[in-house]
Amino acid sequence: MSSLTTYDPLDPTTLENPYPVLTALRETTPVFWHEGMQSWALTRYADCIAVLRDHERFARDRRRTGAVVPEPSLSVQSLDPPDQAPVRSLFMNALQDQDLDTIERRARQMLAARFGQLTERAEFDVMTEVAAPLSVMVISDLLGVDEPDLDSFAAISDAIMRSMDAGLDPTVIEPGRIARQELNALVESWFCISGRPGLLAHVKEHARLRDDAGLDLFVRNTTRVMFQGGYSTMVAAIGNAIHTLLRYPQALQRMRNAALLRTGIDELVRYDGPVQGTSRIATEVCEIGGVTVQAGATVLILFAAANHDPNQFPDPDRLILDRSQGRHLGYGWGTHTCIGTVPAQMALRALVMSLLDHPTPLRAAEEPRRRRTATMRTFEVLPAAFHL
């Protein structure tokens, strides 16, 4: 095996800006073995897409390669077709049945009120005072559940997010396990009450009509994944988008154009997306980019690298609001595309429109600080202020 020991996703320089090192990898060692993560990592868009499309040879469901997967881990994100189809269709149909325009309108009203409060402040943290409250409101509204206490839930979500990097830092495993138990209890409470209209009520009703105990398990697990994953991904995406717009304020003004708003939201996610990658397990011996991968090996699809591949996205390190070439991997691909994509885009759209509506421009304040996480690219602190 070729070995590359210089790539450390938790290195401060890489956390600050991973794209130069990913570009170097793509140009010199596009498929490389990472000893720390015990996986083959892919940096080219074409290789990433080939693996994501091939459910037969690359499994998301680790049970297909003999692994024991705990029941709480079986959800729409961990199942493969065809087992995944019933639960995914249930949630996607429920999503299409929601009044998304009303949720987006409420998000803009919330942001207008919050921006008004923050205008008089000399400085505030975008992550805790804008991204987190907006995200928990949108995902709670969408599911039709009461908003949890934000501080408590943010701590749970943070522990779960950090535990995704257990291969790099084993100390995050136990806090993540405890946080999942706490989140399970919260989700179970939603299934014990009738609740208000929303995606969860729709899913519960239609799952009940199918009278399938296995489906009920997947529904509960997927609800948990959608709430926590939707929240954490949305928070990260909002922070990254605002950071980009603070660097390129002219881009924000250009998105007054409705067409540029639509494509620009997508471009913000491609340019500096929240989820850095995902993994698959090879079910048989195969070749990727000229490298032989053994059955049972983990393959890491680096979204961040693929989204800056010049063969798919010309001039990839530029923010091009009307970019039309290529489909980015910021939310995943195919049947494992994040089911929180629609609310995340909705939140970003509400954010951009609210910033444009606000009479005072948003400016960067002190230096931001990235969170030390590899799977999710997000900020720990993002200081900003409204100033003329």
Domain borders along the chain are: 12-386
CB–CB of 5/29 below 8 Å?
Answer: no
pLDDT of residue 334: 85
* 291 burial type by CB count under 10 A (0-12 exposed, 13-18 middle, 19+ buried): middle
The parts of the chain modelled with pLDDT lower than 70 are 1-5, 194-195, 209-214, 388
Reply yes or no on domain 12-386 having CATH 1.10.630.10.
Answer: yes
**277-282/58-59 β-pairing:** antiparallel
Q: How far is residue 228's CA from residue 177's CA, in Å, rounded to a whole number?
A: 14
CB–CB of 335/84 below 8 Å?
Answer: yes
Q: Is the peptide bond before 133 cis (omega within 30 degrees of 0)?
A: no
Q: How many CB atoms lie within 10 A of CB 378?
A: 23
pLDDT of residue 339: 82
pLDDT of residue 140: 96
Q: How many CB atoms lie within 10 A of CB 147?
A: 12
Phi, psi of 282 (to 5 degrees): -70, 125
pLDDT of residue 232: 94
pLDDT of residue 214: 67
**286-288/291-293 β-pairing:** antiparallel
The pTM (predicted TM-score) of the whole model is: 0.94
Secondary structure in 3-state letters for the chain: CCECCCCCCCCHHHHHCCHHHHHHHHHHCCEEEECCCCEEEECCHHHHHHHHHCCCCEECCHHHHCCCCCHHHCCCCCCCCCCCHHHHHHHHHHHHCCCHHHHHHHHHHHHHHHHHHHCCCCCEEHHHHHHHHHHHHHHHHHHCCCCCCHHHHHHHHHHHHHHCCCCCCHHHHHHHHHHHHHHHHHHHHHHCCCCCCCHHHHHHHHHHHHCCHHHHHHHHHHHHHHHHHHHHHHHHHHHHHHHHHHHCHHHHHHCCCHHHHHHHHHHHHHHCCCECEEEEEECCCEEECCEEECCCCEEEEEHHHHCCCCCCCCCCCCCCCCCCCCCCCECECHHHCCCCHHHHHHHHHHHHHHHHHCCCCEEECCCCEECCCCCECCEEECEEEECC
